[in-house]
Structure 1
């Protein structure tokens, strides 16, 4: 079976390619021109350099494949329109290409985000059947991407996966926390604990591939996360133990991230890349929690995320050290 993986040079994409190959399937990674392909060449059947903004390029990419796993997307952008261009219109172009050049496609898997649904708290986690209430431009664009797939898929079987916080080898945003744990202080925002569902990257990748092959997953949405839910204090503590130093974790009022977000937004025009913290990102930071229920995926696949945070943080820290990232 031939499986096309967009966004293959990214954190999750790389692990998905490895998961495809480990199941004895053929992986066809899709990369942007200029993306680093060195670590993929040992695993991939044939790397395809594709411009997902170009319809003809999309058609050529999907020709002859059996499954599409679509991971390519923007997590940071300067405007909602910029998010939409990739996270919504990119989905539409790829689905159209599948209709035109891969009429026998067995599954289209869209990897979305819990951000498409909105916050959830411990005791009232987000479920697949809940109404979606995104709180950031990124979340809005991911939800609209899901809606585009549902509206345009037609006869193409589809599955949507919404991961929560994802960490693991090759992840660059959580890497900042690993570095802070080694040398600095990690502030905890707010006087009340905020709780999060998390998933280890390699576990998520295996679950994505298994859902792509599972007939019962067709036409459904799934959250994928480990069973445990963690406060941010616990999350940072696990990373600190993995790094050999649990940092000071002072609590700070919501005013602090508001000021940082304002500074990020004011300096955004002068940055090459949008800042990690900005006013548009602030509702995500101040949300009471990002917790999801995983009953649906466990019902058909069992325990798809067996790696708990302590073990996953240790393995991630070891990879960062070996790779010279920390």
Structure 2
């Protein structure tokens, strides 16, 4: 199965609104829907690059996703909403930006959806980050909610609002909390792959913290499932692979694929977090991205491990991609696209 094909399909003749359409995950979903013959409407910032969608029958609305007038125009005749837009996660971003995108836009879209005569499902995309560090892994959808920053807090606020609104107003809502998203085209993990290729990997602690992933192909399939399955309404689902892996196991897997044996460069946690806090305090008021900050460091220290059986038990959905195969696929994509150069021994 290629990244733009799917066995899961919306009904023919459907009209779907996608927010965050130009992002990594959004672009994969949009292309799947277009290939299915679905009429796609997308909201994108004026600065967003839509060149990769050239020639596709997509109706674009350019502007802010929290612009009420824009939303009212875009939502006409829509049957499905896939709401996954998010501000680019930078420490320099102002807090109000997160609120507007994660909360205000959700409220405006949900209220507008109620006015559509044939509206069928609102798929709201949150994050496993709302759980923070999982004290007794694996967690599940009901484990404590402990957002650790404004990004996660505003995500949780938007999620909680629409769940309550949907129940009160009869709006069919399904909420998805994706694990760490990866796949060809994603570059958030590029730095780690580069470290492995260079055989030196900084690690905080012993590298035993748990990471949970989901391939973008599986995640976008799951979005479609939650849009069409009757049992998804009113539910919250964590979408992740069968089980988590440790950071050091991830490094070993990549190293094995690249044919190298990377060494860990151990860094003590307390001083690094203190430096990260100091940098964020200094740089954020100036609108400058700090070289390191707490949220980025959390990837190397927090346990994010979940029991993902709910999506299988209720919606009969099982990811098609194993992390082992998927992370190796990404390793090769980085090489093929010139992001990583492997030196011959």
State TM-score, norm by structure 1. 0.88
Residue 19 of structure 2 is aligned to residue 3 of structure 1: no
User: What residue in structure 1 maps to residue 49 of structure 2?
Assistant: 36
CA deviation profile, 1:60-81 (whole Å, cap 9, x unmatched): 1111111000111123354543
Q: Is the 8 A contact 2:231 2:315 kept in 1?
A: no
Q: Is the 8 A contact 2:195 2:201 kept in 1?
A: yes
Q: Is the 8 A contact 2:19 2:65 kept in 1?
A: no
User: What residue in structure 2 maps to residue 166 of structure 1?
Assistant: 181
What 5-or-longer segments of structure 1 have no aligned partner? none
Q: 2:104 aligns with which of 85, 89, 96?
A: 89
Q: Is the 8 A contact 1:19 1:209 kept in 2?
A: no
Residue 70 of structure 2 is aligned to residue 57 of structure 1: yes
Give SS of 1:8's match.
coil
User: What residue in structure 2 maps to residue 70 of structure 1?
Assistant: 83
Cα 1:276–1:231 shift into 2, 3 Å: farther
CA deviation profile, 1:77-134 (whole Å, cap 9, x unmatched): 545433222211121122223234x34311111110011122225x632212234222
Distance 2:230 2:118 in 1: 15
Residue 244 of structure 2 is aligned to residue 229 of structure 1: yes
User: What residue in structure 2 maps to residue 104 of structure 1?
Assistant: 118
Cα 1:198–1:84 shift into 2, 3 Å: same
Q: 2:316 aligns with which of 291, 302, 313?
A: 302
Distance 2:212 2:117 in 1: 37
User: What residue in structure 1 maps to residue 194 of structure 2?
Assistant: 179
State TM-score, norm by structure 2. 0.84
Instruction: Tell me how far 1:241 sits from its aligned partner.
Output: 3.4
Q: Is the 8 A contact 2:222 2:317 kept in 1?
A: no
> 1:267-306 residue pairs with structure 2 within 5 A?
267-272=283-288, 274-275=289-290, 277-279=292-294, 285-287=300-302, 289-306=303-320
Aligned length: 322
Q: Is the 8 A contact 2:127 2:178 kept in 1?
A: yes
Q: 2:224 aligns with which of 202, 209, 215?
A: 209
Distance 1:264 1:103 in 2: 51
Instruction: Tell me how far 1:4 sits from its aligned partner.
Output: 1.3
Q: Is the 8 A contact 1:159 1:218 kept in 2?
A: yes
User: What residue in structure 1 maps to residue 172 of structure 2?
Assistant: 157
Cα 1:310–1:275 shift into 2, 3 Å: farther
Give SS of 2:16's match.
strand
Q: Is the 8 A contact 2:17 2:40 kept in 1?
A: yes
Distance 2:15 2:46 in 1: 22
Q: 1:13 aligns with which of 15, 21, 26?
A: 26
Q: Is the 8 A contact 1:9 1:36 kept in 2?
A: yes
Residue 241 of structure 2 is aligned to residue 253 of structure 1: no
What 5-or-longer segments of structure 2 have no aligned partner? 1-13, 341-345
Cα 1:196–1:321 shift into 2, 3 Å: same
Give SS of 1:249's match.
strand
CA deviation profile, 1:211-247 (whole Å, cap 9, x unmatched): 1111111110001111132001112222333444343
Cα 1:147–1:228 shift into 2, 3 Å: closer
Segment of structure 1 superposing worse, 305-314 or 252-261: 252-261
